Amino acid sequence: MRRPSLELAVAFNRLARQDDEWFDEPDEFDRLQRALDAIGGIDDPVTAAAVIAYRVAKAQAFGEANKRTGFLLAKWILDRNGEDGSALLPPDDREFAALLVKAASGLDVEAEMVELLRRRHG
């Protein structure tokens, strides 16, 4: 299974940030790497996508756009591993977005995110 690199996650975050979302706070690459490492033993792309989105949102490794970065990485995993990322994670996905907000606030919704994507996958 293809997994995203630290460099790819950072590049996605840079693209996801708006011009007015830059702060002097340094990014926490160790936290981001731990989030990426969490899918190291997962061979199912649907599960890996949910876990990476949850872990990146929860890690809050960037000054801004953590949830957007997690969402983009999840779609990337799906698309690069034989799944249709746009079908499982449409751009206007309020249900998944609500779970990302909960993850970013520290709530443990990883299992809910996995279940949501598995249910959509069929």
pLDDT in tens, 43-59: 999 999 999 999 999 99
Higher per-residue pLDDT: 20 or 12: 12
Query: What percent helix, strand, coil does the chain show, rounded to 5?
Result: 65, 0, 35
pLDDT at 92 over 80: yes
User: Considering the domain boundaries, does residue 89 fall inside one?
Assistant: yes
pLDDT at 79 over 80: yes
Confidence (pTM): 0.93
Distance CA 6, CA 71 (A): 15
User: Considering the domain boundaries, does residue 76 fall inside one?
Assistant: yes
CB 70 within 8 A of CB 61: no
pLDDT at 77: 98
pLDDT at 8 over 70: yes
Please name the residues in contact with 90: beta carbons below 8 A apart, sequence gap of 6 or more. none
> Side chain identity at 100, as an amino acid letter?
L
CATH number at residue 102: 1.20.120.1870
User: Considering the domain boundaries, does residue 1 fall inside one?
Assistant: no
pLDDT at 26 over 80: no
User: Considering the domain boundaries, does residue 94 fall inside one?
Assistant: yes
Number of domains into which the chain is organized: 1
User: Considering the domain boundaries, does residue 10 fall inside one?
Assistant: yes
Supply the range of the domain harboring residue 111: 6-121
